[in-house]
Amino acid sequence: MDKGVRIAIIGGGPAGLSAGMYLEQKGYENYVIYEKTDHVGGKCHSPHMNGKRYEMGAIMGVPSYYAVHDVEVFAGVSHADGPKLHRTYRLPNGKVDTRFDKKLFNLPHLLKLKSQIKKFGEILETKYKGYDICGHRGVSEGRYEGYAVTPGREPVSGVNPNLKDLALPFKKFVELNKVPLVQEIWVQPFTSFGYGYFDEIPAAYVLKYLDFQTMMNFVNVNLWTWKEGTQSIYEALNRKLKHPAVLNSKISKIVRGDKVTITVNGKEEVFDKLIITAPLQVGTINNPVAQGLDSYLDVTDKERELFSKIDYERYDTMAFITKEEAYPDASFYVVDNMTPETLGHGMVFYMRWANEPDQPLVSYVLRKHKNESESVEAYKARPELDYGKTQRTVLEDLDKLGIAPVKEDGKDKIVYEMQSYYFPHIFSEDYADGWYEKVEGMQGDNNTYYAGEIMSFGDMDETVEYSRDLVERFFN
């Protein structure tokens, strides 16, 4: 491809900014990144309070976040000075949960759990070889093609019919492989951080995010954090780019043909290529920060058919100040609230700064679940839990847990609330039917390329890695 082509990138989150970075490294410097908000970083959002930053979205990384490390190197950022994270467990009534303490709980159960985790690791590396590479192309056909999850990220490919099993919901997948207990561990960084429930989400998504080495890093609390928050990684990246993102860009129309014409803030701009990292879902999206792709793009019939199958998680975070004497010693999980039956209850309560009660705690809650027995159509037609009602439920949870917000002028001191367009995904039927192969087959049509969360997984490393994958495949 001609290195002088003019490229538009829609979205200034990790996927869009890293696309700009990888294009630069390939010699493509004629690009523009459009971001509709007044800041970059997307769901890597780290507001300030009392001289420090706390997290409303992404929190941490692990040593196997090789793509995030690309960004660190390019932008001159280090994770060496971030706060050290710890975790504890509580029951919904606030008492200590001892289920994972071998000194206090059921040692035979823990030994059985440990055995199944080891077996699961062996199964993934052998029976499901290729399960952990970036992206999903070929999986529903029993093959893999992409980059290995290694520091060198060498290109790999192969045929493995067993990969078709990854279309199953994760619950059925681990039951098929006779390791159901692993859900007790995988659920903690998955469901609690908004990625849905194991009876509804295809195993492919769970294992793109929590491949075995990443999961073991979580288990061993071998974590990366950044002193100025995850958003600072992408702020630094944006500053280093030759063409930083254009903020407050309101795109009202995109028309594609021999060229791509974008109307942004009332002015037409003409490009040769278009990379979309913003949500691909079409139609009305009941979310305050997302809009349907067809509200500004000349969506084709094929795009509409495929992108209408996308759904997302209704996942909310709320930062609040609790009493100094109630400020916990560490972040904690409430594992009993990570079930479909406890939908709408707080699942994890995150503390970024130890022993600093002037800094917020953050609660995390889900508001919709696809029941195993219902169709995708019935699920989409059914309303989600009401936002305000769910917030009241979480406030009741906080009271039971002993960390209720302090009162200010008679009201709970809520510092920040965040509703995001979270974890776009498809369900098992469409995954097995080759949704990803069909979308990947459209890459380049109408001078358009698709990246962002839906193309791999909705964590920052997978989105950045997919942007690298896209650039390596199509911009050589």
The verdict on residue 258 lying in a domain is: yes
Query: Residue 342 maps to which CATH number?
Result: 3.30.70.1990
Of 219, 249, 270, which closes a domain? Answer: 219
Q: Is residue 240 part of a domain?
A: yes
Domain-terminating residue out of 219, 235, 256: 219
Same domain (yes/no): 277, 317: no
Backbone angles phi, psi at 366, to 5 degrees: -105, 150
In a domain, 103, yes or no: no
In tens digits, the chain (476 residues) has pLDDT values of 899 999 999 999 999 999 999 999 999 999 999 999 999 999 999 999 999 999 999 999 999 999 999 999 999 999 999 999 999 999 999 999 988 876 666 788 888 999 999 999 999 999 999 999 999 999 999 999 999 988 999 999 999 999 999 999 999 999 999 999 999 999 999 999 999 999 999 999 999 999 999 999 999 999 999 999 999 999 999 999 999 999 999 999 999 999 999 999 999 999 999 999 999 999 999 899 999 999 999 999 999 999 999 999 999 999 999 999 999 999 999 999 999 999 999 999 999 999 999 999 999 999 999 998 899 999 999 999 999 999 999 999 999 999 999 999 999 999 999 999 999 999 999 999 999 999 999 999 999 999 999 999 999 999 999 999 999 999 98
- Say whether both 325 and 416 belong to one domain: yes
Note whether 210 and 113 are same-domain residues: yes
Show the domain range for 329.
312-424
Return the pLDDT at 18. Answer: 98
Q: Are residues 435 and 333 in the same domain?
A: no
Residues 330 and 343 placed together within one structural domain of the fold: yes
Q: Quick one: DSSP state of residue 43? A: T
Q: Do both 188 and 134 map to the same domain?
A: yes
Same domain, 382 and 430: no
* 356 is a domain residue: yes
- The predicted structure's pLDDT at residue 110: 87
Same domain membership, residue 274 and residue 247: yes
Q: What is the pLDDT of residue 109?
A: 87
Dist CA 456 CA 472 (whole Å):
15
Q: Are residues 215 and 113 in the same domain?
A: yes
Residues 414 and 433 in one domain: no
Number of domains in the chain: 3
Domain boundary among 204, 219, 234: 219
211 to 158, 244, 316: CA distances (angstroms): 18, 33, 25
The answer as to whether 331 is a domain residue is yes
Same domain, yes or no: 431 and 420: no
**One domain for residues 333 and 420:** yes
DSSP H helices, 349-443, are 376-381, 387-401, 428-432, 435-440
Please measure the distance between the N-terminal and C-terminal CA atoms of the chain and give it in whole angstroms: 6
How many other C-beta atoms can be found within 10 angstroms of the C-beta atom of residue 132?
Answer: 21
CATH number for the domain that contains residue 259: 3.50.50.60
Burial of 318: CB neighbours in 10 Å, binned 0-12, 13-18, 19+: buried
For residue 404, what is the DSSP state? Answer: P
| CB proximity list for 82: less than 8 A, separation 6 or greater | 224, 225, 226, 227
313 neighbors 453 (Cβ within 8 angstroms)? no
Which residue type sits at 319? A
Domain contains 354: yes
Instruction: Return the exposure string of 80-99: e unless at least 16 CB atoms fall within 10 Å of the residue's CB, then b.
Output: eebeebebebbbbeeeebee
DSSP state of 253: E
290 in any annotated domain: yes
Q: Is residue 440 part of a domain?
A: yes
User: What is the pTM (predicted TM-score) of this model?
Assistant: 0.96
Distance CA 429, CA 422 (A): 21
Residue 475: CB atoms within 10 A of its CB come to 19
The enclosing domain of 211 has a CATH number of 1.10.405.20
